[in-house]
Amino acid sequence: MFFGKKKEKPEKIFDREITTLHDIIAPSLLEITPDYFKLGGRFAKSFFIFSYPRYLNTGWFSPIINLSTPLDISLFIHPVDTGTALKKLRKSVTEVQAELSESQEKGLIRDPALETAYQDMETLRDKLQTAQEKMFRLGLYLTIYGSSLEEIRETETSLRSILEARLIYIKPALYQQKEGFNTCFPYGLDFLQVHTTMNTDPLSSLFPFVSFDLSSNDGILYGLNRHNNSMIIFDRFSLENANSTVFAKAGSGKSYGVKLEILRSLMMGTDVIIIDPENEYKTLTDTVGGSFIDISLASSNHINPFDLPAPSGDEKPEDVLRTNIINLVGLLRIMLEGLNPEEDALIDRALAETYASKDITPTSDPALWKDRIPLMEDLELVLTGMEGTESLVRRIRKFTKGTFSQFFNQPTNVTMDKPLVVFGIRDTEDSLRPIAIFIVMRYIWNKVRSELKKRILVVDEAWWVMQSEDSASFLYGIAKRARKYWLGVTTITQDVNDFMKSSYGQPIITNSSLQILLKQSPAAIDIVKKTFNLTEEEKYLLLEAEVGEGIFFAGQKHVAIKIIASYTEDQIITTAPEEVLRIKKAKEELQ
């Protein structure tokens, strides 16, 4: 029999799992130091708040919650028995009262801090005894993250600057970074146990989910605040300017929302003027008894480009005349499809001479201007008598004797004496539309300057205006000066790209204190995000919004909005084709 060594069984190292769930979710490295810890390639640091001021404002914690850097926040609120709290307060009040009495007996200088503490404790005792307040122990912990220690230090500096500006102080959890890290996890376990005693009132100021409230006693209803279901009631004229911009894709409810604002503003006594490119405000105009002015070659309505506004109280006649001539040069630049520098100077001189031929000069009586306004044919006559104007005369005859003469070479026969006035330009020929819009805007602006009155000017599909440098410049000038004349300008557009291509697009937005963003298309959302400095959450809110939903900006405040209307309002303002057809059929059946 052979006795040899027992043969060892080879180790089967591949019989067990190489990777487990723990290996997948666990970091590759966990290093804990006294004042920070490292998870894989990321650094982290935990803090606790240990000191609060006497008063805390509502929403003081919002800047921390809204920091762009990643961080974890844990709140631990432990209720304290009211009876126990009252016993401790009674003891503290007795001690403070004794100290105050002793100071008075010794004739010492009064201690305001001690007196204030005594008053605060007595007030708190009263509220606790009447169940108006309760006592709690608060633990507030934060863990910040960064790719490097330098990034951690920068975030810590930001935290300290935000909190210390409010007299709130934090400390790192030295030698307790592991406990601080676990405390900020959603375990519901407080491993640090650093607590501050607080009553209900200051504790409620810490509530993290606060939203702006845009409800006021004055103004109109714009919609519902989707954050807290409160009503957004606002007066646009209460801001530094009453201008508004509305951006949304087609079919998102922008015209619907603006019509609601118009209808409700009219009820509050505000006059409204509209430049309507699709005649979609006609039903609203007829319903409220307004004026609908059709602007086209076939229309009997005429606006003379040479009309002059009456100087207001602080304006000089020469300034009014000079400004009007400058604006007319811009109009003629569009009409004549551009002017070279020489032609520009000739037109400027010819316009001054045209007015002078009708005895309208800086020194003449403005009260007599109205009956002496020249026509386009008067400008042609003046140009004919000037040297080097042959090309200008040939081009301008199109508007005095040619196709467009019925529109441009007539005295004004329209008025703006009703609360709602709409200029419909749907039937205006495409080649005429930019010129017609400019003329209408000039006419409106002259009327606004002539009489101080609370008004709103709505420019629908404003990207049409922005296609011409001169008309875009004129619209920007109106928006910039509107506040002086108690006017709020509303610009509406669905084509954000075209609007922002103009050098006046961003300034018009900047000069608008009220902004409404409804559902956006993916193609335009990045431009909108950059223009309005939106967060990623707000960006996706606009992409996923339903019809009539979006974001409402009023100055520094902004909330998520849902536009709502009553049944009667809806019947007046709806533009959905199926609804319009249904209403029309219902009316026919009633007749």
User: Mean pLDDT, consecutive 10-residue segments, the chain of 591 residues?
Assistant: 51 57 74 88 92 81 81 90 82 80 77 77 79 87 92 92 91 92 89 88 76 73 83 88 90 88 92 91 90 88 87 79 88 87 90 90 84 89 88 88 82 90 88 85 88 91 81 88 91 82 85 90 86 83 89 85 89 73 68 62
- Phi then psi dihedrals of residue 522, to 5 deg: -55, -30
The pLDDT of residue 523 is 84
Q: Distance between CA 128 and CA 174 in Å, rounded?
A: 36
Residues 89 and 187 in one domain: yes
Question: Are residues 562 and 428 located together in one domain of the fold?
Answer: yes
Whether 539 is covered by a domain: the verdict is yes
Shared-domain flag, residues 386 and 520: no
What pLDDT is recorded for position 213? Answer: 65
Q: With beta carbons less than 8 A apart as the criterion, state whether 40 and 28 touch.
A: yes
Say whether both 368 and 515 belong to one domain.
no
Is residue 199 domain-shared with residue 218, that is, in the same domain? no
> Is residue 590 included in any domain, yes or no?
no
Reported as half-sphere exposure (CB side, CA atoms, 13 A), residue 369 has a value of 21
Is residue 271 included in any domain, yes or no? yes
Collapsing DSSP to helix, strand or coil, 212 comes out as coil
Who contacts 84 (Cβ-Cβ below 8 Å, separation ≥6)? none
> Is 6 a domain residue?
no
The residue among 411, 428, 461 that closes a domain is: 411
pLDDT of residue 1: 44
For residue 549, what are the β-bridge partners?
562
| Best CA proximity match to 418, nearest among 265, 302, 281, 271 | 271
Strands, E assignment, 430-542: 455-459, 487-493, 514-518
Residue 146 sits in the same domain as residue 217: no
Domain end (from 204, 234, 249): 204
Looking at the structure of the chain, the number of domains it has is 3
Indicate whether 47 and 106 sit together in one domain: yes
Answer yes or no: do 471 and 518 share one domain: yes
Domain at 448, CATH number: 3.40.50.300
Which of 331, 335, 302, 332 has its CA nearest to residue 410? 302
Look at residue 177 and tell me if it is in a domain: yes
pLDDT of the residue at 199: 85
Residue that is last in its domain, among 174, 204, 234: 204
Is the residue at 164 inside a domain? Answer: yes
pLDDT at position 270 is 93
Residue 13: other Cβ atoms inside 10 A? 7
Determine the Cα–Cα distance for residues 117 and 140; give it in Å rounded to an integer: 24
In 248-402, DSSP assigns E strands to 271-276, 291-294
H/E run at residue 123: helix 112-129
- Please report whether residue 571 resides in a domain: no
Residues 318 and 340 in one domain: yes
Three-state SS string across 359-397, please?
A: CCCCCCCHHHHHHHCCCHHHHHHHHHCCCCCHHHHHHHH
> What was the pLDDT predicted at 100?
78
CATH number at residue 382: 1.10.8.730
Domain, as residue range, for 151: 21-204
